[in-house]
Amino acid sequence: MPRTHPTLLPYKPTPADPFDRGKAAHLLNRAGWGGTSEEIDRVLALGPDGAADWLMDFPDANADEISKSDLPDFSAIESYPKNFNEIRKMMAGKTEKERKELRQKLMQANREAMGATGAWWLKRLAYGPYPLHEKLTFLWHGHFTTSARDERSALLMWQQNETIRHNAAGNFGSFVKQISRDPAMLDYLNNSQNRKARPNENYARELMELFTLGIGKYTENDIKEAARAFTGWAHDGDDFIFRKYDHDNGEKVFFGRRGNFDGDDVIDIILQTDACAQYIGLKFYNWFINENVDGTTAFSTGLSPALGDRLKESNYEMRPLLRTILTSRAFYDPANRGVQIKSPVQLTVGTVRMLDLELPPPRLLRGALEQMGQIPFDPPNVKGWPGGHMWINTSTLFVRQNTAVWLAGGASPIATGKPALDRIAERRGQVNFVPQAGNDAQAVVDQWVERLIPRPVSDEKKQVLIDALGGKPNRPDAVKRMIQLIVSMPEYQLC
């Protein structure tokens, strides 16, 4: 029988614990990037179950059906090729000097294309019709990590992003098999160099340590044998290829089993373990509910076994587990609200979305994100972004506060000497500051606090906000100053 856990039981509103606007805003923050007042109204009307269904109503897609209709804008980038065959044609018949010059042009074009790809994704995050789908894509982007610094092809990075998006809520087993064939991943973890004569263990190690099991759930011999199973897995341009002459067809011993295993066999054996289901189940819990629950605590309390059972009973289909989490008691428990430090992307995209803004120019936005320590497509290492308290230090806190205030129509209050921050001061926000609560200062403050910080805020802090209105709660400029104070509050750094 599948194990259960009381905190994973469905949340049912009661008169003493109603589904209110604060909970509706919390759902939009965690299952997306925050919501406008209208979106909060819609979630409130749908209720917790209906709202979860609405957010999960995005299309699944097969990775072989990658859409060509939504592409980063490469049109203005000189020399940027459409595919690898075009690169081969460009190189054909050239002298070595001409090839060197062409390679330099291609490298510059790729840097520009990577910038366009990052801007394209940030636009999807802020304005896409399926915020939960993009939130899941961002989750897996930090899990199945590849960095544009190491993979020097914007096309392959975009292709991987689409593969992740199309599998983000699908079958985890199929997902792992597809990402194991992804050209950018094959490059990043050196499996294109994994050959029978000289096995490369990088991908096999990270497959188990980071992607499916976690540290301590395998042996060094399992890594060696898995690496042999993945020999010959490579790519030619943007297509996966299997080099049969580089593949080790010998018997392998993996997790105590013997056989002539290939990479898919290794993944299937991993999926049969309880450790894999529990590891991925806890990954969802940490992402959506509470990132501070570690594996030891989750196992000892029975939480991760219950999460793992939910995933295994659906044969690793991820939607049932996702719905369980988004409608659970734990999700709406006050102890799990306002405990997640916003990532720089969550902070920036969330501010844009909640205030219904236009995204700043890509150059300025990238500068702010770089100062805060998170640029999409550029994680620091194979472990992705560490997150949590690592987002906050003496330098990033200042940037975070100034970025939020800047987006809300403010400017950097002091000259920092840092180009990214100085450029932030160039832009003014485009918030609709027309108040909806009339001349009642308390109502105006409550309206905006409820929208931007969906948790209790002390009366003392609310009084500061009331005072900031200067007795003019119906004046857009006064409301703007008050909103800037809200987004500079410590509470706004959390969701």
Q: Which residues contact 133 (CB under 8 A, 6 or more apart)?
A: 58, 165, 168, 169
CA–CA distance, 52 with 31 (Å, rounded to integer): 9
The answer to whether residue 95 is domain-embedded is: yes
Residue 67 banded pLDDT, cuts 50, 70, 90: low
CA–CA distance, 124 with 130 (Å, rounded to integer): 9
CA–CA distance, 262 with 229 (Å, rounded to integer): 4
pLDDT > 70? residue 418 = no
74 and 211 assigned to the same domain:
yes
The answer to whether residue 81 is domain-embedded is: yes
- Dihedral angle computed from the Cα positions of residues 180, 181, 185 and 186, in that order, rounded to the nearest 10 degrees: 110
pLDDT value at position 72?
Answer: 83
As a whole-number percent, the residues of the chain with pLDDT over 90 amount to 72
381 and 463 assigned to the same domain:
no
pLDDT > 50? residue 179 = yes
How many whole angstroms from its chain centre is CA 479? 32
CA–CA distance, 396 with 373 (Å, rounded to integer): 8
The answer to whether residue 429 is domain-embedded is: no
pLDDT > 80? residue 413 = no
Among 237, 271, 305, the domain boundary falls at: 271
CA–CA distance, 44 with 272 (Å, rounded to integer): 40
pLDDT: which is higher, 426 or 272:
272
356 and 477 assigned to the same domain:
no
361 and 486 assigned to the same domain:
no
Residue 204 three-state SS: helix
Q: How many residues does the chain have?
A: 495
pLDDT: which is higher, 354 or 88:
354
228 and 83 assigned to the same domain:
yes
95 and 43 assigned to the same domain:
no
How many whole angstroms from its chain centre is CA 254? 32
pLDDT: which is higher, 474 or 391:
391
405 and 457 assigned to the same domain:
no
pLDDT digits (tens, 9 = 90+) for 309-357: 999 999 999 999 999 999 999 999 999 999 999 999 999 999 999 998 8
- Long-range (24+ apart) CB contacts under 8 A made by 298-306 are 301/5, 302/3, 302/5, 303/5, 303/7, 303/8, 304/278, 304/279, 305/3, 305/274, 305/278, 306/2, 306/3, 306/4, 306/5, 306/8, 306/281
Query: Structural domain of residue 262, as residue ranges?
Result: 63-271
Please compute the mean of the pLDDT values over residues 59-65 and round it to a whole number. Answer: 58
pLDDT > 80? residue 434 = no
409 and 445 assigned to the same domain:
no
pLDDT > 80? residue 66 = no
The answer to whether residue 77 is domain-embedded is: yes
The answer to whether residue 306 is domain-embedded is: no
pLDDT digits (tens, 9 = 90+) for 225-247: 999 999 999 999 889 999 999 99
pLDDT value at position 346?
Answer: 97
Quick one: tokens of 367? 């500068």
The answer to whether residue 393 is domain-embedded is: yes
75 and 190 assigned to the same domain:
yes
379 and 242 assigned to the same domain:
no
Count CB neighbours of 94 within 10 A: 13
Among 5, 35, 55, the domain boundary falls at: 55
As a whole-number percent, the residues of the chain with pLDDT over 70 amount to 92
CA–CA distance, 264 with 87 (Å, rounded to integer): 31
Report which of 74, 137, 66 is spatially closest to residue 111, judged by C-alpha positions. 74
pLDDT: which is higher, 93 or 28:
28
Among 271, 289, 304, the domain boundary falls at: 271
456 and 402 assigned to the same domain:
no
CA–CA distance, 473 with 462 (Å, rounded to integer): 14
Mean pLDDT of the chain: 90
pLDDT: which is higher, 65 or 277:
277
Is residue 228 classed exposed, middle or buried when 0-12, 13-18 and 19+ CB atoms within 10 A define those classes? Answer: buried
The answer to whether residue 307 is domain-embedded is: no
pLDDT value at position 253?
Answer: 98
Report which of 180, 253, 260 is spatially closest to residue 221, judged by C-alpha positions. 253
Tokens 């999807």 correspond to 124
pLDDT value at position 411?
Answer: 64
Please compute the mean of the pLDDT values over residues 40-62 and round it to a whole number. Answer: 92
Number of domains the chain is built from: 4
Residue 262 banded pLDDT, cuts 50, 70, 90: very high
pLDDT value at position 461?
Answer: 96
47 and 69 assigned to the same domain:
no
pLDDT digits (tens, 9 = 90+) for 108-145: 888 889 999 999 999 999 999 999 999 999 999 999 99
